[in-house]
Structure 1
Amino acid sequence: MKTLNILNRYFSFAVVLFSLLLTVTNVNAQKAAAPQIKNVVLVHGAFADGSGWQGLYKVLTKKGYNVTIVQNPLSSLEDDVKATNLALDKQDGPTILVGHSWGGTVITEAGNHPKVAALVYVAALQPDKGENSVQWLQTAPPAPENGVLAPDEKGIAYYDKAKFHAGFAGDLSKEQADFMYASQGAFYAQGFLTPITNAAWRTKPSYGIVATEDKSIVPSIQVAMYKRSNTKITEIKGSHVVFISQPEKVANVIIEASFKK
């Protein structure tokens, strides 16, 4: 009987010890799995405004991220970088900086901000120092659906209304595309000709989403830029506004970037 009591006590101790070890292991695993970067700044491109990020904003905020949306003035590269830097100044710590389309050029410059921990390019331009956006847009024939018009007498470029749905937002409803067209900002085309002075992707971890159905920046251009910069590539089936049509998949890339390696 005495031996049985000793065995029972030993067994009980072993169970308690195992439970404690399991708890510690689970806590450590949760700490390891928790993203260390919770701030995300989203930068829209030309022929758009910040309202397009709403779906992605909802996905990320539900997962606990602090999301800020930049409203680019679209008046010049310098002005858009300034607007992005103002948003970055207000962040309380390390931040993932995300750019779509022309916004990729903006984050390439603004990404040198000390609070930027990583860059995410969403169907975006990614020039190097001394390069401008047009150089890359001219490296492959445009899709026939592309509707970027020549600048008007004020130097402002717009997207052709007749081509906007197919060329810019082909996987959205006509109603959604019509709203996007109506809310696009006035983009001063000189921005496309302004060279980058310091490419942040050379010193910051970079992630790139290739929209495989893109008719505004054809996928081959996106792939060429991202491969040149050793950006980690994720392909997602979607139009130029893949962040609207596939917000969960785009969010997954941002979330991946938020985990420090």
Structure 2
Amino acid sequence: MGRAMRVNNVVLVHGAFVDGSGWEPVYQLLTAQGYQVHIVQHPTTSLAADVAATQAVLDLQDGPVVLVGHSYGGVVITEAGHHPKVARLVYLAAFAPDSGESVQKLCALPLPGAPLPPMLAPVRGFVRLDQAKFAAAYAADLQAERAAFLASAQQPLGLDAFTGEVGMPAWRSRPSWYLVASEDNMIAPLAQQLMAQRAGAAVTAARSSHAVHESHPAAVAALIDRAARDLR
């Protein structure tokens, strides 16, 4: 059998508490390699709304797609990944839920010694991270000025996104790749490894905080390139 042809379209889905602008370093690297890259600016209001926003971008693609999710974006791609244009999935320090799971359920029983994200009590149906603890939890390896800006510019997570449950996960029918952030203080690295193993993903790792797409864009772009070329 010959080697699979490269998938040239990449769609990037951001996680909770941030927006799509953090993908810019990865975007620049991938476009320099000839990929057509689109970034989903989903609202993080509910899983259904975020999936719909992602599928609307997928509709625009002119061929097969590598669909990439960071953090909560992993939940979104697990549901949106059934779109007929999605050929491969890439998870970056992300939740990769199974049927009936949500972020809330996956966080309800943390592993021993796992970090506890500094989420504040909901306000008007949305949760935020404690601004004073944001840098240590989310972006410990970014420049202090950038981490402070991200903390101040948080996009709050809707409770309907936090509790939104996945149906049949797309990773059951699509090949997947997973990048574990080994210094993550939002999603325990061991939890990442277990979810990746359950999904049958090809796994790599980076010595990174949760903000791996910003702090290690070359490693992220390299993994997306491997997925696009179907290299395990």
User: In the TM superposition, what are the counterparts of 1:1-261 in structure 2 within 5 Å?
Assistant: 36-137=6-107, 138-140=109-111, 141-143=113-115, 146-152=117-123, 154-260=124-230
Once residues 230 and 180 of structure 2 are traced to their aligned partners in structure 1, the CA distance between those partners, rounded to angstroms, is 23
Q: Secondary structure in 1 aligned to 2:171?
A: helix
What amino acid is the match of 2:212? V
Once residues 64 and 218 of structure 1 are traced to their aligned partners in structure 2, the CA distance between those partners, rounded to angstroms, is 34
Q: Which stretch shifts more, 134-143 or 121-130? A: 134-143
Q: CA RMSD in A?
A: 1.6
Deviation, 1:139, is: 3.2
Q: Which stretch shifts more, 184-193 or 77-86? A: 184-193
Does the CA-based 8 Å contact 1:52-1:180 persist in structure 2?
Answer: no
Q: Could you list the structure 1 runs, at least 4 aligned residues long, displaced by more than 6 angstroms after superposition.
A: none
Does the CA-based 8 Å contact 1:49-1:183 persist in structure 2?
Answer: no
Once residues 110 and 134 of structure 2 are traced to their aligned partners in structure 1, the CA distance between those partners, rounded to angstroms, is 22
Residues 73-131 of structure 1 deviation map (CA, whole Å, 9 limit, x = unaligned): 11100000000000000000000000000000000000000000000000000111111
What amino acid is the match of 2:215? S
Once residues 216 and 163 of structure 2 are traced to their aligned partners in structure 1, the CA distance between those partners, rounded to angstroms, is 30
Once residues 178 and 3 of structure 2 are traced to their aligned partners in structure 1, the CA distance between those partners, rounded to angstroms, is 24
What amino acid is the match of 2:199? S
Matched residue count: 228
Task: Structure 2: give runs of 5+ residues left out of the alignment.
Answer: none
Residues 172-203 of structure 1 deviation map (CA, whole Å, 9 limit, x = unaligned): 01111122123321210231212111210000
- Percent identity, please: 46
Does the CA-based 8 Å contact 1:136-1:221 persist in structure 2?
Answer: no
TM-score normalised according to structure 2 size: 0.94
Does the CA-based 8 Å contact 1:75-1:191 persist in structure 2?
Answer: yes
Deviation, 1:142, is: 4.1
TM-score normalised according to structure 1 size: 0.84
Q: Secondary structure in 2 aligned to 1:191?
A: helix
Higher helix share: 1
| Higher CA-based Rg | 1
Once residues 61 and 25 of structure 2 are traced to their aligned partners in structure 1, the CA distance between those partners, rounded to angstroms, is 21
Once residues 146 and 52 of structure 2 are traced to their aligned partners in structure 1, the CA distance between those partners, rounded to angstroms, is 29
Task: Structure 1: give runs of 5+ residues left out of the alignment.
Answer: 1-30
